[in-house]
Every structure is written in C-alpha cells, then in structure tokens.
Amino acid sequence: MGHSQASLADCTAAQGDTTPPAVDITTSPVINAGNQDAYIVAGSCTAGDGNVKVTIGTAPKFVTMTTACNAAGAWTAPAANVASLPLGPVDITATQTDAAGNTGTRSVITTKTTAAATDTTAPVVAVDNAAAINAGNEHGYTVSGTCTAGDGDVRVRIGTAPNSVEAIAACGSNGQWTTAATDLGGLPAGTVPIQASQTDAAGNTGTASVSVTKVDTTPPTTPSVTVVNPPSIDAGNQGGYILSGTCTAGGGSVTVTIGTAPKAVVVTVPCDGNGHWTTPATDVSGLPKGSVTITVTQTQATGDVDSSTATTTKTTLGAGDAPGSDSVAAIPVGGAWASLLLLGAAALGLRRRGRQAGPQRSGRHHD
C-alpha cells in the first residue's frame, strides 16, 4: 500500500499563511540642515512579500513613500524632502504586507535638529471625475480627484449656499481622494459648481473647481401639454394651417402630429418660457376629408413623455380621395374623363346639325 508525503510548504498552504513579513529600518539618520531636502531611509524586508511603505513624521505633517523590496531582502526609499517637519522627535514607520494579508511593521524614532522651513507652497488639488447629476445618481453622488499626500483632508463643496451638501474626503497616500456617496436631491436643476480645497499644516490652501449640470428630476404636472381649440381645415387655411397650445416651460420641445399615418403631418416646435407653443403655417392639404386627430407630445429631460389629443374636421378632399358629387373641381379632366367629354361634345354637335332646316323649295316645277 502506497504512502503519500507532504512537504512543509504543503502543510503551510493547507493551514493558511499567518506569518507576517519581517521588515526593519536599518538607516535612519538625524535630520539636519544638510539632509532635510533629500533625506534617505533604508532597511531590510522579506523578499517576495510585496513593496515596503515608509512614513516619515506624523499627522498632520508627514511624508509617505512606497519602495520595492529587492531579491536580496533590502529596501531603500527615494530621497524625500522633510524640511517642513517640525523640530524634535520624528517617527519613521515601515510596513510590508504579503499576498495573504499579513503585515509586518517596524518603527524607529530619529530627531530633527532644524526648525521647520517656512512652507508657502499650497497643496495641489484637482477634481478629475464629476458626472452630471441625474435621477440615477442624485441620491448617492460621488466625486473624486487628486491631492497632495500628507497635506490634510480635501473639503468638497457641491452647489452654492443656501443649496449646497459639504463633504470631506481623505487624501490617500497615493494622492487620490473620493467623497462618500452624498444626497443631492435638494439641489435645484441647472448648473452646479463643485469646489475642492486642501489646506496644509502651514495654512496654505490649494483649490480647484468644476461645474456640472443637474437635470430636472421633478416629475411634471399633468397635463403638461395641450392643443387649444384647433380650427377646422378648409380650402382657405389648408395650405397654411396653424395650431397652438400650452406646455411645460423648460420641459423640452413639443411634437405636433396632425392626422394619422400614413398621411400624418408632423411638426416639432419649441416650448417658450411662458409655457406656450405655436406651429408655423403648415400645408395639410394632403390629409383626407373628414375627422382629423391632432396629437401633441412633450418629452421631459427625465424621460417622461406627456401627451394630449384633440380632433377637428377637414372639409376639403385630400390627395388620393375619390371624387365626389359635392365637388366639381375635384373631377379629373385628364385621361378617360377627357375622352368621354370630347365624345359627348361631338355627339351633341351632330344632333344639332341634323336638326338644321335645308333651303326652301317650291312644290311646282316650270319648264
């Protein structure tokens, strides 16, 4: 009977890796006037267990960097400008997190022998991702951007007073910030300014601003669009027929459909600021005689479509209508009809000539 063998690595994998990386700080010189503009800290690490994150100083004034752990198990952080750190003790922390989520940490304390340099440089902050505000995101709106790591939180103001929902976003070590989901349902429709600001420990403030649009998410009143007293269509107005009505101001253009398919006439007109619409003079002579349905629709920015209908009457024949006895002008005069008219006229002429009397003659004859 065979026997199986398991290696130590197999057993470790089966039980789960719970051993944190071993990380240390081996170089952390005193910070002075000679090195504060390009300060270097270094140490050891566990090869293969990810990068090493190094933090010099403590909030609100600190510098954070990430550096690689090389194959020899060593790391060296990039030269950092720590001149703005205050005089006195300075904490330095190095952390390394492996793929299993185990974190190794090492902290040391060094000393800064020079006073903090006067900081007059404002943080650099930007708004990079600000979408339009609509019904789908207004109750959970987020905005994000970039910032100066180590220079404090980012304050974000959306809208203008008294209609504005201020948010605070942390500036991450990677120089990125994102607000938590914020309810903007109370903001009015229109242009919405967004301003982000970041203030460092020295009191310097960097700002950035953009503008987005909030669409009207308020459902319209009903009815919002109507046609008012459509006149009947007759020979006098069919070549320049005009309609008018009411609509929701700011709610989009109005589409007016006169008649039904396939002979409907469709006109799109604006809704003015007073909530009225009027069509230009429109040729509707091709519509058939009889009842005519008029439909008006208005599509809101929210996607809601409002409509209403009315009816009128067309008293004249339209294109394709069969000629009727009530309209002589509608009788066609070409083709077979013209031939019939010519034959009738010819027959009438023959009858008239047959009835004409010849020359009168006497009944007697003289030699």
Q: Which of 241, 222, 216, 220 is nearest to 230 (CA)?
A: 241
210 and 231 in a common domain: no
Q: Which of 55, 89, 112 is the last residue of a domain?
A: 112
Confidence of residue 39 (pLDDT cuts 50, 70, 90): very high
Q: How confident is the model at residue 156 (pLDDT cuts 50, 70, 90)?
A: very high
Burial of 25 (0-12, 13-18, 19+ CB in 10 A): buried
Would the pLDDT of 357 be above 50?
no
pLDDT number for residue 111: 96
Instruction: With beta carbons less than 8 A apart as the criterion, state whether 310 and 231 touch.
Output: no
Asked if 146 and 135 touch (Cβ cutoff 8 Å), the reply is no
In terms of domains, do 42 and 89 share one? yes
What is the token pair recorded at 7? 């290696």
Q: Quote the tokens at residue 39.
A: 């300060």
Q: Which pLDDT score, from 0 to 100, does residue 340 have?
A: 47
Spatial contact of 272 and 249, defined as CB atoms under 8 Å apart:
yes
Domain housing 292: 226-314
pTM: 0.39
Same domain for 18 and 80? yes
**Helical ranges in the chain per DSSP H:** 8-15, 335-355
With a cut of 50, say whether residue 337 has pLDDT above it. Answer: no
In a domain, residue 175? The reply is yes
What are the pLDDT digits (tens) for 59-114? 878 899 999 999 999 999 999 999 989 889 999 999 999 999 999 999 999 999 98
Pairing of strands 42-44, 226-227: unpaired
Q: Is residue 236 part of a domain?
A: yes
Q: Please give the pLDDT value at position 9.
A: 47
Number of compact structural domains in the chain:
3
> Residue 367 has what pLDDT?
39
Q: What is the pLDDT of residues 291-314, one digit of tens each?
A: 999 999 998 766 778 899 999 999
Q: What percent of the chain has pLDDT over 90?
A: 62
Q: Are residues 92 and 144 in the same domain?
A: no
Q: Are 278 and 256 in the same domain?
A: yes
pLDDT value of position 303: 73
* 230 and 266 inside one domain: yes
**Omega into 262 within 30° of 0, i.e. cis?**
yes
Higher per-residue pLDDT: 1 or 206: 206
Q: What is the mean pLDDT of residues 167-190?
A: 91
pLDDT of 359 above 80: no
31 plus 55 within the same structural domain: yes
| Residue 18 in domain | yes
Residue 215 confidence (pLDDT): 87
Q: Are residues 172 and 263 in the same domain?
A: no
Q: Average pLDDT over the chain, rounded to whole?
A: 84
Summarize pLDDT for 121-145 with one digit per residue, the tens: 899 999 998 999 998 899 999 999 9
Do residue 140 and residue 160 come from a single domain? yes
pLDDT of 203-262, one tens digit each?
899 999 999 999 877 765 555 899 999 999 999 999 999 999 999 888 889 999 999 999
Q: How many residues does the chain have?
A: 367
Same domain? For 135 and 90 the reply is no
In a domain, 261, yes or no: yes
Residue 220 lies in a domain: no
Cβ-contact 187, 163 below 8 angstroms: yes
154 within a domain of the structure (yes/no): yes
Domain annotation covers residue 32: yes
If asked whether residues 38 and 81 sit together in one domain, one would say yes
Q: What integer is the mean pLDDT of 184-197? A: 92
CATH number, domain of 206, equals 2.60.40.10
For residue 221, the model assigns a pLDDT of 55
**Residues 301 and 258 grouped into a single domain:** yes
Q: Apex CA 63: angle with CA 62 and CA 66, to 5°?
A: 140
Residue 35 is predicted with a pLDDT of 95
Domain edge (last residue) among 292, 314, 336? 314
Any idea what the Cα angle at residue 298 is, between residues 258 and 315, rounded to 5°? 15
- pLDDT at position 223 is 58
Asked, for residue 355, whether it belongs to a domain, the answer is no
Amino acid at 71: A
Of 67, 86, 112, which residue sits at a domain end? 112
